[in-house]
Amino acid sequence: MVTYLDVAATTRVDPRVADVVMHWMTEDFGNAGSRTHEYGTRAKRAVQQAREYLASTVHAEPDELIFTSGATESNNIALLGLAPYSEQSGRRHIITSAIEHKAVIEPLEHLQSRGFEVDFIKPGSSGRVPVEAVMERLRPDTLLVSLMHVNNETGVVQPVAELAALLRETPTYLHVDAAQGYGKVPQDLTAPIDMMSVSGHKIGAPKGVGMLVIRRRGWERLPLQPIMFGGGQERKLRPGTLPVPLIMGLAEAAKIFEKDHAEWSRNAENLRNRLLDALAKTRFRVNGDQNHTVPHILNLSFDGVDAEALIVMLKQHVAVATGSACTSASYTPSHVLTAMGLPEKVAENGLRLSWFPSQAADLDVEELAARIAGMQPDSA
């Protein structure tokens, strides 16, 4: 049995969630947009209850949440949807980091091609973007700051809550890609973040569902415009038939994760400690600030070992990755580790290990360490 150590990409659907999804696919199969029959009424009522619960997990109002296919779509709506307002207001400056997921970087590069000015902040070797580095770049024409919550490659937690409090006193909006942090560092996401993107498959919900939280400032809604058209089911910002089974799966996964969070964190931390203790027989470095990190992601570079060769050697034992699944089709050095200014060999050979405790409980950490140690050349 191969242990899955790549849950920063996706995790297994919880069986309890699968039961809920199947019910809404086969029993209550109504369209939440239909008002002419009981099937549609039940679906609409269930979606509203899911919306209310999910909004409550981040201290938002139900009408401040729209359902999407995941964080990539949410990011695009948040970033590209502000462009019309920017063109009216003349505010065309955006601040972000150089370690964002491609689902943020590429939409911003598109905006650059349309005349926007984007500052990509490099965080330094800690992998954590200082609040001061963001605030000192603010200008009168700064429209938006986009900063991820938890980095998907290093697990480093960014100071989004502190930044949200500061930016709330300015006209600059804050967008947070919370794909890796939702459910795992819940207290941060109750901060007054203007826009927040979430993917369900990071917490045991099915792939293909997520949400975008769009908080009002006082009574004012953010000036977002739709980037797709054809129905406007979700606050006229996101068209298309609502995937009721997936939405119900997302709500169920969030409930389970909230209930189990304390135990989940303890078990994730215990596995992390076991891993690091076992790996002491190898020569490695941990990449990223370990004082600000989630307990279930480690980014390691092993001295004298090529990461791709290591993945091949370990594939019968563990499933691991060098970085984001979205950029794994052709191997290049991690843009995250490179932006952190790490030595070339370190950036080329960063290996990401990430886990759900229940899915990695049987991992033989001693065997894993021995296999890695066996690949390392003898020290000079």
Please, which residues have CB within 8 angstroms of residue 378's CB and are 6 or more apart in sequence? none
Q: Please, what is the Cα angle at 356 between 355 and 357, to 5 degrees? A: 105
Distances (CA, A) of 380 to 304, 374, 377: 12, 16, 9
Please, which residues have CB within 8 angstroms of residue 352's CB and are 6 or more apart in sequence? 6, 8, 153, 154, 297, 298, 299, 320, 321, 322, 323
Query: Given 2, 22, 326, 361, which residue is catalytic?
Result: 326
How far is Cα 102 from Cα 72, in angstroms, rounded to an integer?
A: 9
Beta bridge partners of 198: 211
Confirm if 96 and 108 have CB atoms less than 8 A apart.
Answer: yes
Q: Strand 284-286's sheet: what is its strand order?
A: 284-286, 297-302, 350-354
Q: Catalytic residue at 25?
A: no
Catalytic residues: 326
